Structures are given as C-alpha cells and as structure tokens.
Chains A and B, each alone.
Chain A
C-alpha cells in the first residue's frame, strides 16, 4: 500500500526537533562514557579518583546520563523522526508540543545534573528510599518524565490525525510502533511519577517525616521493568523495519511485527516483582505469578528472532544463496547501517539468555545484585540497544542535517562497533563470570578486610578495566562520527530507509489499532498482578522510614 502522505524526507522543521534530542543524547554519551571508564579504573584497584570525588557520585552520573538521559532523548528523537517520516510532517501545534516536551526534559536533566555535581543526590539513578536526595533532584527527574509525556503527546496527536484522514487503514508500521512504545512508557511512568510526587518529594521537603519503603520500591519497579522495554522497542523498530530496507530485502511479516509489539505492551508492565524477588513483604506466590508473566514477554522476542533470521535468509536466497547458511554471505557486510545493529542483535542472544536466568524466581538468588546483573544490562542496553542507536544515527543524523554518510565514516562506524564488541566482551564477560562467584554490583574497589574470596575477584576487575578502556575508545570514535555527521559531512541526500512487507497484499488486521481493547487488557493485567500484593503492602506496612544522607 502506498501511503500518499509519506514524504521522501523528514521536514526540516521536524528534523530540527529530532536533532535537538540527539545533541543532548550524544552529550550524555560523552559524559557517561567518561564516568564509566573511571568506574572500571577505580574498581581495578590501580587508580583513585582525584579531588575527593566519590565513586558513587560518578556512578550516579553514569546511571542517570546513560540509563535515563541518553536513552530517553535518543528514543524520543528517533520516534518523532520516524513518525514524521511515515505519517507526514507534524502540524505546528504538534511540533510545538514536541518542543515543550524537549525543553522540559532538558531543564529537568540540568537540574538533576547540578544536584548530582553538588553531591546532593548521590543516591544512584534508582534513588531508593530511605536514602534521601535533595528535593530538586526529584523535581529534575520528574520534569524529565513529564517532558517525555508531552513529547509523546506529539506522536499520539499525529497518529490520531493520520487515522482520521485514512479511515479503515492500518497506520504506517513505524508510527504504529512508536505509538505502542509511547503508550507503554506513559502507563509505566505513572508508577515512578507517583512515588516521586506523592512520597519522595513531600518527604524530602520535610512535609512528612517518613516514607513507606515497600510501596515506594513497588511503584519504582512497576516502572523499572517496562523502562528496559522502552529502551529495547526502538531497537526492535530498527530491526523489523529499517534493516530489511538497508539490506535490500523485505519485512518478513508486517502483521507479526505488530503482534509482537502488542504483546510487549501487554506483558512488559505487570512483571516488576521480578526485580523484587529477594525482598521481604511480598508473598512468594505473587512473585511467582509475575515470573510467569515475565516468561510470557519472552515470546515476542522469540518471534522477533525468527522474523529477523527469515528476513536475512529470504534476502540471501533471492540473491542466489544455497545451502543451509549460504545466505549469511550475501548480507552487506560493508554497510555500517546493517553491520552495527547486526552486532547488537548478536549481543542480544547472551543478553536474553541471562535475562531468563535473572527472572527465574529462586535462581535469582545466585545473581541478584551481583555484578553479573551489570554485565547483563551492558549487553542488553549498552550493546544491543546502543549499537542499534549508533547504526540508526549513521543514516538518520545525515538525513536530518541534509548531509551524507561518507565511505570513510561508514568504515569508521564499523570499526567503532568492532571496538565496542571487543571492549564489551572483556567487560561484560568478566562481570558475568565474577558475578557468579558473588562479587557485588554498585561497589567501589574493596578488599573486604583481606577476605580470600574478594581476592579472587580482583583479576576479573582488572579485565573489566581493560574492557572499559577499549569501550572508551569506542565512545570517542562515536562522538567524532556524530560531530562529523551533524556538522561536517558533505551536503547531500541520505535515505531514511523504511522497509516494505514481503507480502504487501496481506493487510494488517485492524484489530491491532483497537487501543480501547489493548489498553484495557493492559490495565486488567496490571490490576490482576498488582492489586492484592499492593494492598498487602499498605495494610501490613511497618512504621515508615526516616530519610538518611549517608554520603
């Protein structure tokens, strides 16, 4: 189906909005990357931070700017660009909404950053009470979230407009996916917004003296798990829709792609207990129920794996590949737009395997809060997702700035990804291994009073520092490429690749656009998974906890 409203290029005014997001995102990458390097160096035991800077202050910077800022800004920028490209240029009203969202998020980021630098908020990016940060830190993070809602509103408005103008038609796939991710984000962030606005903020301002820890943590993790899917789904957008076009193939199935996104919407949220498996105050039967729901959210990823392999194989065979794996050779191994996200896909195999282990109820005892977990999410978000974002940047940034990706930059992009994977193999590999031995996460260098077990961990920490140093080279390269594509690359036309379905005759069923239905089921599942244990947490609550500032 040809979509008449889809223009060839993203409108320059929309491009500017998206680019604004990317500038913040890549600034965050530079700062956070430096913090990450310093962390690995400190943890090797061979380096100490100068000027009385604390390890945990650096770690708070790293978590906030990479886990929250880089991801949210990149994702919003990408989804705005994708929606503008596939559903048509934003109206002025929609675009202004986007800008308001952007500036709120940016203001919030600056506020939170200042508080972290003043050492008023060394509570890490998860800010678990009763460690109590400065109220402005909570306000800053709230602004980031509220800004992202307003950003998201622009996407929702565009979608609604498209549907009005094209009655009875399924929405363009990239718009559909952006919309699903935006809605999931809004439903999920209600949890963290509630704990911040109703619990932590009044408490940090001194209006109330104590806070209910169990409720606060549960609201946080109601948000915390969908947060990681919010990071992942834009990568899946690129894998499902962009990569087929880049290699010259077809989307394996438009409908199955939509189905998997709907499944993510339904099952990403009612699963937060799998981050609280080791916690008191929650009945293990409810934990197990959410473990089951967590396993359900594996299914759309299994579908995705199949679709991607099928896209590659169909393409390879159309180019005459034979044998079981002959198609692998036909893929465009010289094209950064393909290779870089492809490495991300490969990283998702061990990442997913680790995730299933983490979610496995009592087996979580083996790995909970060990550095295995850090190793795990440096594969998921810091490799699969981030490399896909880099791969997207290689065409999207020049597309938006009216420039082109040169051969040299293309090559550098591939080198960047190879360096990243080598560094990550060292860092994440060592983290996984030593995590199984019990080494804790979120911990500065320590010999634990000369304990023999802790001595065994040190060689792995040195390996992490080697990996971290290699990764930092990758960061420098990426920043260099970004600046090149934003300001210096030759003027020209860079394609925004949007794939077409292999079977275009097969229209996606309209039931996928029935948001009353899907949001309804989402809410029912959430209520089912959370109502009773949440009431338990309130009714059987211990006396509240006072705030502490222990840094």
Chain B
C-alpha cells in the first residue's frame, strides 16, 4: 500500500537527517526568555519598599 511505503520512507529519512540543532537553539531561547522575565520582576521587587 502506498501509505505504508510512505511512512517507511519517512522513517528512514528521520534517521538519516536527525539533527536537533534547531530544537536546542529554540529551547535555549525559551530558557533565556524565562530568565529575563524572572530577573525583570525580581529587580522590580528589590527596587520597591
């Protein structure tokens, strides 16, 4: 069936070109966003009485 063939092909391609560089970059950008937000509010906290 064409469908199974297709999925088999997709699978081998995933193996061949499996790089997660982009994922690593994305999650680190996310991480920096979390840190910036947190530090921002923390600075607000210490600047107030």
A binds B: yes
Measuring CB to CB, which residues of chain A are less than 8 angstroms from any residue of chain B?
248, 250, 302, 305-306, 309-310, 312-314, 316-318, 320, 324-328, 349-350, 352-354, 356-357, 360, 362-363, 365-367, 436, 502
7 A-B pairs with CB atoms under 8 Å apart are: A305-B30, A309-B23, A310-B20, A318-B10, A328-B22, A349-B33, A363-B45
Residues of A within 8 A of B30 (CB): 305, 349
Q: Complex formed: what's the CA distance from A328 to B25 in Å?
A: 13
The reply to whether A306 and B27 contact each other, CB–CB distance below 8 Å, is: yes
Chain B interface: which size bin?
Answer: 20 to 34
Q: How far is the CB of B9 from chain A (nearest CB, A)?
A: 9
Q: How far is the CB of B28 from chain A (nearest CB, A)?
A: 10
Q: Complex formed: what's the CA distance from A201 to B11 in Å?
A: 58
18 new A-B pairs (CB below 8 Å) besides A250-B11, A313-B19?
Answer: A248-B10, A302-B27, A309-B20, A309-B26, A309-B27, A314-B20, A317-B17, A324-B21, A349-B30, A350-B37, A353-B38, A356-B37, A357-B38, A357-B41, A363-B42, A366-B41, A366-B44, A436-B41
The reply to whether B26 and A314 contact each other, CB–CB distance below 8 Å, is: no
Instruction: Name which residue of chain A comes closest to B7, CB basis.
Output: A500
Q: Complex formed: what's the CA distance from A324 to B27 in Å?
A: 13
The reply to whether B23 and A306 contact each other, CB–CB distance below 8 Å, is: yes
The reply to whether A250 and B14 contact each other, CB–CB distance below 8 Å, is: yes
The reply to whether B38 and A356 contact each other, CB–CB distance below 8 Å, is: yes
Instruction: Name which residue of chain A comes closest to B46, CB basis.
Output: A363
In terms of DSSP, what is the predominant structure of the interface of chain B?
A: helix
A305-B30, A325-B25 known; A317 and B38 CB under 8 Å?
no
Identify A317's interface contact among B14, B33, B34, CB under 8 A.
Answer: B14
Q: How far is the CB of B38 from chain A (nearest CB, A)?
A: 6
The reply to whether A318 and B48 contact each other, CB–CB distance below 8 Å, is: no
Q: Complex formed: what's the CA distance from A305 to B13 in Å?
A: 23
The reply to whether B27 and A367 contact each other, CB–CB distance below 8 Å, is: no
Q: How far is the CB of A511 from chain B (nearest CB, A)?
A: 26
The reply to whether A357 and B19 contact each other, CB–CB distance below 8 Å, is: no
Q: How far is the CB of A366 from chain B (nearest CB, A)?
A: 5
Identify A353's interface contact among B18, B33, B45, CB under 8 A.
Answer: B33
The reply to whether B48 and A366 contact each other, CB–CB distance below 8 Å, is: yes
Q: How far is the CB of B35 from chain A (nearest CB, A)?
A: 9
Residues of B within 8 A of A302 (CB): 27
A310-B20, A324-B25 known; A436 and B44 CB under 8 Å?
yes
Q: Complex formed: what's the CA distance from A442 to B30 in Å?
A: 31
Across chains A and B, which 5 residue pairs bring their CB atoms closest together, nearest first? A353-B37, A309-B23, A318-B13, A317-B17, A309-B26
Q: Complex formed: what's the CA distance from A258 to B9 in Å?
A: 27
Q: Complex formed: what's the CA distance from A96 to B15 in Å?
A: 46
Q: Complex formed: what's the CA distance from A302 to B31 in Å?
A: 9
Instruction: Name which residue of chain B comes closest to A354, CB basis.
Output: B37
Identify A324's interface contact among B13, B22, B41, B48, CB under 8 A.
Answer: B22
Identify A310's interface contact among B23, B33, B44, CB under 8 A.
Answer: B23
Residues of A within 8 A of B19 (CB): 313, 317
Q: How far is the CB of A460 from chain B (nearest CB, A)?
A: 17
Q: Complex formed: what's the CA distance from A60 to B37 in Å?
A: 31
Residues of A within 8 A of B17 (CB): 317-318, 320
Q: Complex formed: what's the CA distance from A362 to B19 in Å?
A: 41
Identify B27's interface contact among A305, A362, A436, A502, CB under 8 A.
Answer: A305
Q: How far is the CB of B14 from chain A (nearest CB, A)?
A: 5
The reply to whether A353 and B22 contact each other, CB–CB distance below 8 Å, is: no
